[in-house]
Amino acid sequence: MRISELSRRSGVPVATIKYYLRENLLPKGEAVSATQSRYSEEHLKRLRLVRALVEVAEVPLGRIRSVLRAVDDPELDLHTLLGFAQYAFTQSPEAPSGDDPDWQRAEHRTAELLAQLGWQAHEASPARGQLVQAVAALERLGTPPTPEMLHGYAAAAHRTAELDLDCVDPGMPREATVQQVVTTSALMEQTLTALRLLAQEDESARRFGRGPWQHERPEDGGAVEGRARE
Protein backbone atom coordinates (compact mmCIF):
# COMPACT_ATOMS: atom_id res chain seq x y z
CA MET A 1 0.00 0.00 0.00
CA ARG A 2 1.06 3.60 -0.47
CA ILE A 3 1.67 6.10 2.30
CA SER A 4 -1.73 7.70 1.86
CA GLU A 5 -3.45 4.36 2.40
CA LEU A 6 -1.26 3.65 5.42
CA SER A 7 -2.35 7.01 6.76
CA ARG A 8 -6.02 6.37 6.07
CA ARG A 9 -6.00 2.88 7.61
CA SER A 10 -4.12 3.94 10.73
CA GLY A 11 -5.67 7.35 11.21
CA VAL A 12 -2.21 8.88 11.49
CA PRO A 13 -1.48 11.96 9.31
CA VAL A 14 0.94 11.45 6.43
CA ALA A 15 3.23 14.13 7.86
CA THR A 16 3.47 12.20 11.10
CA ILE A 17 4.23 8.95 9.27
CA LYS A 18 7.01 10.70 7.39
CA TYR A 19 8.31 11.97 10.72
CA TYR A 20 8.29 8.47 12.17
CA LEU A 21 10.11 7.23 9.09
CA ARG A 22 12.78 9.88 9.61
CA GLU A 23 13.03 9.03 13.28
CA ASN A 24 13.40 5.32 12.59
CA LEU A 25 10.26 4.43 14.46
CA LEU A 26 8.91 2.88 11.30
CA PRO A 27 11.07 0.98 8.80
CA LYS A 28 11.30 2.41 5.30
CA GLY A 29 8.90 1.03 2.74
CA GLU A 30 10.14 -0.96 -0.23
CA ALA A 31 11.24 1.66 -2.73
CA VAL A 32 9.40 1.17 -6.01
CA SER A 33 10.63 4.32 -7.66
CA ALA A 34 12.12 7.64 -6.73
CA THR A 35 8.76 8.91 -5.60
CA GLN A 36 7.03 5.82 -4.30
CA SER A 37 7.45 3.13 -1.72
CA ARG A 38 5.28 0.20 -0.90
CA TYR A 39 4.23 -0.44 2.70
CA SER A 40 3.08 -3.78 4.04
CA GLU A 41 0.70 -4.94 6.73
CA GLU A 42 3.75 -5.15 8.97
CA HIS A 43 4.18 -1.42 8.62
CA LEU A 44 0.58 -0.90 9.63
CA LYS A 45 1.00 -3.11 12.68
CA ARG A 46 4.16 -1.32 13.69
CA LEU A 47 2.51 2.03 13.25
CA ARG A 48 -0.41 0.99 15.42
CA LEU A 49 2.00 -0.25 18.07
CA VAL A 50 3.86 3.06 18.08
CA ARG A 51 0.62 5.01 18.33
CA ALA A 52 -0.62 2.86 21.22
CA LEU A 53 2.66 3.42 23.01
CA VAL A 54 2.54 7.17 22.38
CA GLU A 55 -1.14 7.83 23.01
CA VAL A 56 -2.03 5.34 25.70
CA ALA A 57 1.16 4.52 27.51
CA GLU A 58 2.72 7.96 26.94
CA VAL A 59 6.12 6.48 26.26
CA PRO A 60 8.57 9.04 24.82
CA LEU A 61 9.59 8.38 21.23
CA GLY A 62 13.20 7.88 22.22
CA ARG A 63 12.31 4.98 24.48
CA ILE A 64 10.01 3.52 21.84
CA ARG A 65 12.93 3.60 19.42
CA SER A 66 15.09 1.66 21.86
CA VAL A 67 12.42 -0.98 22.36
CA LEU A 68 11.85 -1.38 18.65
CA ARG A 69 15.56 -1.78 18.05
CA ALA A 70 15.55 -4.69 20.47
CA VAL A 71 12.33 -6.07 19.01
CA ASP A 72 13.87 -6.10 15.55
CA ASP A 73 16.96 -7.94 16.68
CA PRO A 74 16.34 -11.61 15.82
CA GLU A 75 19.23 -12.66 18.03
CA LEU A 76 17.51 -11.77 21.27
CA ASP A 77 15.63 -14.45 23.14
CA LEU A 78 12.43 -13.78 25.03
CA HIS A 79 14.02 -13.30 28.40
CA THR A 80 16.57 -10.84 27.12
CA LEU A 81 13.96 -8.98 25.10
CA LEU A 82 11.78 -8.58 28.16
CA GLY A 83 14.82 -7.13 29.86
CA PHE A 84 15.40 -4.63 27.07
CA ALA A 85 11.76 -3.65 27.07
CA GLN A 86 11.96 -2.99 30.77
CA TYR A 87 15.18 -1.09 30.42
CA ALA A 88 13.78 1.05 27.63
CA PHE A 89 10.49 1.82 29.32
CA THR A 90 11.98 2.78 32.67
CA GLN A 91 13.57 6.14 33.18
CA SER A 92 16.91 5.70 34.86
CA PRO A 93 17.08 7.95 37.92
CA GLU A 94 20.74 8.69 37.06
CA ALA A 95 23.24 10.09 39.52
CA PRO A 96 22.19 9.67 43.15
CA SER A 97 24.31 12.79 43.77
CA GLY A 98 26.70 10.77 45.86
CA ASP A 99 26.33 11.24 49.57
CA ASP A 100 22.61 11.71 50.06
CA PRO A 101 21.69 10.11 53.40
CA ASP A 102 18.08 9.49 52.34
CA TRP A 103 19.33 7.76 49.22
CA GLN A 104 21.69 5.61 51.27
CA ARG A 105 18.89 4.54 53.55
CA ALA A 106 16.63 3.84 50.60
CA GLU A 107 19.38 1.75 49.02
CA HIS A 108 19.66 -0.24 52.20
CA ARG A 109 15.92 -0.77 52.57
CA THR A 110 15.65 -1.88 48.97
CA ALA A 111 18.53 -4.30 49.16
CA GLU A 112 17.07 -5.80 52.31
CA LEU A 113 13.63 -6.15 50.76
CA LEU A 114 14.94 -7.85 47.64
CA ALA A 115 17.08 -10.18 49.72
CA GLN A 116 14.10 -11.17 51.87
CA LEU A 117 11.96 -11.72 48.80
CA GLY A 118 14.70 -13.76 47.20
CA TRP A 119 14.34 -11.85 43.96
CA GLN A 120 17.41 -11.81 41.80
CA ALA A 121 17.68 -8.32 40.43
CA HIS A 122 20.62 -6.98 38.54
CA GLU A 123 22.54 -4.41 40.54
CA ALA A 124 22.17 -1.81 37.80
CA SER A 125 18.57 -2.63 36.94
CA PRO A 126 16.65 0.54 36.15
CA ALA A 127 13.66 -0.85 38.02
CA ARG A 128 15.82 -1.19 41.08
CA GLY A 129 16.98 2.37 40.63
CA GLN A 130 13.42 3.57 40.31
CA LEU A 131 12.44 1.72 43.46
CA VAL A 132 15.31 3.25 45.40
CA GLN A 133 14.41 6.67 44.05
CA ALA A 134 10.78 6.35 45.09
CA VAL A 135 11.68 5.09 48.55
CA ALA A 136 14.23 7.88 48.96
CA ALA A 137 11.61 10.45 47.98
CA LEU A 138 9.21 9.03 50.55
CA GLU A 139 11.96 9.20 53.17
CA ARG A 140 12.64 12.80 52.27
CA LEU A 141 8.97 13.65 52.65
CA GLY A 142 8.95 12.15 56.12
CA THR A 143 6.76 9.17 55.31
CA PRO A 144 9.11 6.26 54.68
CA PRO A 145 7.37 3.05 53.66
CA THR A 146 7.41 0.36 56.33
CA PRO A 147 8.90 -3.02 55.47
CA GLU A 148 5.44 -4.51 55.95
CA MET A 149 3.96 -2.18 53.37
CA LEU A 150 6.73 -2.88 50.90
CA HIS A 151 6.23 -6.59 51.37
CA GLY A 152 2.52 -6.18 50.77
CA TYR A 153 3.08 -4.24 47.57
CA ALA A 154 5.74 -6.71 46.51
CA ALA A 155 3.30 -9.59 46.90
CA ALA A 156 0.76 -7.81 44.73
CA ALA A 157 3.46 -6.97 42.20
CA HIS A 158 4.56 -10.55 42.09
CA ARG A 159 1.01 -11.66 41.38
CA THR A 160 0.75 -9.26 38.46
CA ALA A 161 4.11 -10.37 37.12
CA GLU A 162 2.83 -13.92 37.02
CA LEU A 163 -0.19 -12.75 35.09
CA ASP A 164 2.02 -10.71 32.77
CA LEU A 165 4.08 -13.74 31.90
CA ASP A 166 1.13 -16.10 31.69
CA CYS A 167 0.08 -14.42 28.48
CA VAL A 168 3.52 -14.85 26.95
CA ASP A 169 3.65 -18.17 25.18
CA PRO A 170 7.23 -19.06 24.20
CA GLY A 171 5.90 -21.52 21.62
CA MET A 172 4.31 -18.90 19.43
CA PRO A 173 6.02 -17.34 16.42
CA ARG A 174 8.51 -14.69 17.41
CA GLU A 175 6.63 -11.78 15.87
CA ALA A 176 3.50 -12.42 17.88
CA THR A 177 5.40 -13.07 21.09
CA VAL A 178 7.39 -9.90 20.73
CA GLN A 179 4.27 -7.81 20.31
CA GLN A 180 2.82 -9.50 23.36
CA VAL A 181 5.89 -8.73 25.41
CA VAL A 182 5.93 -5.07 24.51
CA THR A 183 2.23 -4.52 24.99
CA THR A 184 2.35 -6.41 28.26
CA SER A 185 5.08 -4.14 29.53
CA ALA A 186 3.44 -0.90 28.54
CA LEU A 187 -0.30 -1.24 28.14
CA MET A 188 -0.90 -3.60 31.02
CA GLU A 189 0.83 -1.03 33.16
CA GLN A 190 -1.86 1.47 32.20
CA THR A 191 -4.55 -1.11 32.81
CA LEU A 192 -3.18 -1.93 36.20
CA THR A 193 -2.84 1.71 37.19
CA ALA A 194 -6.41 2.40 36.17
CA LEU A 195 -7.68 -0.62 38.07
CA ARG A 196 -5.77 0.47 41.14
CA LEU A 197 -7.35 3.90 41.01
CA LEU A 198 -10.80 2.42 40.60
CA ALA A 199 -10.15 0.10 43.51
CA GLN A 200 -9.01 3.09 45.56
CA GLU A 201 -12.22 4.90 44.78
CA ASP A 202 -14.30 1.92 45.80
CA GLU A 203 -12.25 1.23 48.91
CA SER A 204 -12.23 4.88 49.93
CA ALA A 205 -16.00 4.99 49.54
CA ARG A 206 -16.29 1.94 51.78
CA ARG A 207 -13.96 3.29 54.44
CA PHE A 208 -14.66 6.98 54.79
CA GLY A 209 -16.80 8.04 51.94
CA ARG A 210 -20.39 8.28 51.10
CA GLY A 211 -20.47 7.00 47.56
CA PRO A 212 -18.49 7.47 44.39
CA TRP A 213 -16.51 10.61 43.79
CA GLN A 214 -17.87 13.67 42.16
CA HIS A 215 -15.59 14.36 39.28
CA GLU A 216 -15.41 18.07 38.94
CA ARG A 217 -12.06 19.64 38.49
CA PRO A 218 -10.99 22.21 41.08
CA GLU A 219 -10.27 24.53 38.16
CA ASP A 220 -9.97 28.29 38.41
CA GLY A 221 -13.24 29.83 39.40
CA GLY A 222 -14.14 27.47 42.19
CA ALA A 223 -16.74 24.83 41.36
CA VAL A 224 -15.43 23.27 44.53
CA GLU A 225 -18.45 24.27 46.57
CA GLY A 226 -20.66 21.73 44.82
CA ARG A 227 -18.92 18.64 46.13
CA ALA A 228 -20.45 15.47 47.56
CA ARG A 229 -23.80 15.75 49.22
CA GLU A 230 -23.54 16.61 52.87
**Residues contributing to the site for DNA (CB under 7 A):** 2-5, 13-16, 18-19, 21-22, 28-29, 31-37, 54, 60-62
In angstroms, give the least distance from the CB of 186 to its own copies. Answer: 9
- C-beta closer to DNA: residue 115 or 141: 141
In angstroms, give the least distance from the CB of 11 to DNA. Answer: 11
Is 9 a residue that touches its own copies (CB under 8 A)?
Answer: no
d(CA 83, CA 89): 10
In angstroms, give the least distance from the CB of 198 to DNA. Answer: 25
Q: Using CB under 8 A, which of the segments 1-9, 12-20, 33-41, 126-134 binds its own copies?
A: 126-134
Angle between helices 61-71 and 41-55 (to 10 degrees): 140
Region label for 221, one of left (φ > 0), alpha (ψ between -120 and 50) or beta (otherwise): left
Does an H or E element contain 135, and which? Answer: helix 126-140
Q: Which of 13, 101, 147, 170 binds its own copies (CB under 8 A)?
A: 170
At 33 the three-state DSSP class reads: strand
In angstroms, give the least distance from the CB of 10 to its own copies. Answer: 10
Partner whose footprint covers residue 178, from DNA, its own copies, none (CB < 5 to 8 Å by kind): none
Under 8 Å between Cβ of 39 and 1:
yes
- Using alpha carbons, list the distances in angstroms from residue 78 to 16, 68, 110, 112, 222: 31, 14, 27, 29, 52
Backbone phi and psi for residue 23, each to the nearest 5 degrees, phi listed first: -85, 5
Q: Which of 41, 75, 99, 173 binds its own copies (CB under 8 A)?
A: 75
- Using alpha carbons, list the distances in angstroms from residue 222 to 46, 193, 213, 218, 227: 44, 29, 17, 6, 11
Q: Using CB under 8 A, which of the segments 1-9, 12-20, 34-42, 216-224 binds its own copies?
A: 216-224
Residues in region 98-117 near its own copies by CB under 8 A: 114
Partner whose footprint covers residue 111, from DNA, its own copies, none (CB < 5 to 8 Å by kind): none
